[in-house]
A and B are shown apart, each in its own frame.
Chain A
Amino acid sequence: MSKIDENKIHHRLKILSQIEPSSEATGRAIQQARDTLINEKSRHSASTRIWRNIFKSPITKLAAAAVLLIAVGYTVG
Chain B
Amino acid sequence: MRDRQKELLELLDKSGANLYALLTRLTLREDVAEELMQELFIKLSNSRHFDKAGNRQAYARRAAINLAFDWRRSQKRNPLRLDQVREPASNESSPLGKLVRTEELDEILNAIGRLNRSSREALVMRYIQEESYDYIAEQLDKTAHHVRALCSRALNRLRDVLGHNERLSFEKETRNVKN
Give A contacts to B, CB under 8 Å.
1-4, 6, 8-10, 12-22, 25-26, 28-30, 32-34, 36-38, 40-41, 44
Neighbouring A residues of B24 by C-beta, 8 Å: 19-21, 25
Which B residues lie within 8 Å of A15 (CB)? Answer: 91, 101, 105
Tell whether, in the assembled complex, residue A9 and residue B155 are in contact, meaning their CB atoms are under 8 Å apart.
yes
Provide the bound-state CA to CA distance between A10 and B109, in Å: 13
Q: Is the CB of A36 within 8 A of B108?
A: no
> Is A30 in contact with B17, judged by CB distance below 8 angstroms?
yes
Closest 10 CB pairs of A and B: A13-B127, A3-B163, A4-B162, A3-B159, A30-B16, A4-B163, A21-B24, A2-B163, A29-B34, A25-B30
Chain B: residues with Cβ within 8 Å of the partner, total of 43
Task: Identify whether the interface residues of B are mostly helix, strand, loop, or mixed.
Answer: helix
15 further A-B pairs in the complex, CB-CB below 8 A; given A12-B108, A40-B5: A4-B166, A9-B158, A9-B159, A15-B105, A16-B109, A19-B24, A20-B24, A25-B20, A26-B16, A26-B17, A33-B16, A33-B38, A33-B40, A34-B9, A37-B9
- Pair A16/B155 contact, Cβ less than 8 Å: no
Q: Which residues of B are found within 8 Å of A34, using beta-carbon distances?
A: 9, 12
Given contacts A2-B163, A19-B28, A30-B12, contact A37 B5 (CB under 8 A): yes
Residues of B bordering A, CB below 8 Å: 1-2, 5, 8-9, 12, 16-17, 20-21, 24-25, 28, 30, 33-34, 37-38, 40-42, 45, 89-91, 101, 104-105, 108-109, 127-130, 155, 158-160, 162-164, 166-167
Q: How far is the CB of B89 from chain A (nearest CB, A)?
A: 5
**When the two chains form their complex, are residues B159 and A33 in contact, meaning their CB atoms are under 8 A apart?**
no
A-B contact pairs, 14 of them (CB 8 A): A8-B162, A10-B127, A12-B108, A13-B128, A16-B105, A19-B24, A19-B28, A20-B24, A25-B34, A29-B34, A29-B38, A30-B16, A32-B37, A33-B16
Cβ of A13: which chain B residues have Cβ within 8 Å of it? 108, 127-128
CA distance A16 to B45 in the complex (A): 29
Considering the complex, give the chain B residue whose CB is closest to the CB of A22: B30
| B160–A26 CB distance below 8 A | no
Shortest CB distance B165–A (Å): 8
Chain A residues with CB under 8 Å of B162's CB are: 4, 8-9
Contacts of A9 in B (CB 8 A): 108, 155, 158-159, 162
